[in-house]
Amino acid sequence: MELNVGLLGGGSWGTTVASLVARNAPITLWARDAEAVREINEQHTNSKYLPDATLPQRLKATNELEQAVRNMDVIIMGIPSQNFRSVLKDIKPYIRPWVPIVSLSKGLELSTGMRMTEVINQELPEHPRGVLTGPNLAREIMSGYAAASVMAMEDQVIVKTLQKLFHSGLFRVYTNHDVIGCELGGVLKNIIAIAAGMGDGQGAGDNTRSAVITRGLAEISRLGVAMGGERQTFSGLTGMGDLVATCTSPQSRNRSVGFELGKGRSIDEIINEMFMVAEGVKSAPAVMDLANKYNVIMPIATEVFEVVQGQSSAKKAFRGLLRAGIGSEAEPG
Catalytic residue numbers, as ranges: 189
Question: Phi/psi at 152 (nearest 5 deg)?
Answer: -110, 130
The conformation of residue 11, written as its DSSP 8-state character, comes to: S
- Count CB atoms within 10 A of the CB of residue 86: 10
Collapsing DSSP to helix, strand or coil, 109 comes out as coil
The residue among 132, 107, 139, 143 whose CA lies nearest residue 252 is 139
For residue 101, the cross-strand partners are 75, 129
Question: Residues for the chain: how many in total?
Answer: 333
For residue 28, the cross-strand partners are 6, 60
Phi-psi region of 130 (alpha: psi -120 to 50; beta: other; left: phi over 0): beta
The residue among 185, 276, 294 whose CA lies nearest residue 230 is 185
Contacts of 213 (CB under 8 A, 6+ apart): 192, 196, 243, 244, 247
Contacts of 102 (CB under 8 A, 6+ apart): 74, 75, 76, 77, 129, 130, 131, 132, 151, 162
Question: Phi/psi at 30 (nearest 5 deg)?
Answer: -105, 130
Helix (H) or strand (E) holding 148: strand 147-153
Q: Are 238 and 133 in contact (CB under 8 A)?
A: yes
Strands 147-153 and 129-133: antiparallel
Q: Are 137 and 160 in contact (CB under 8 A)?
A: no
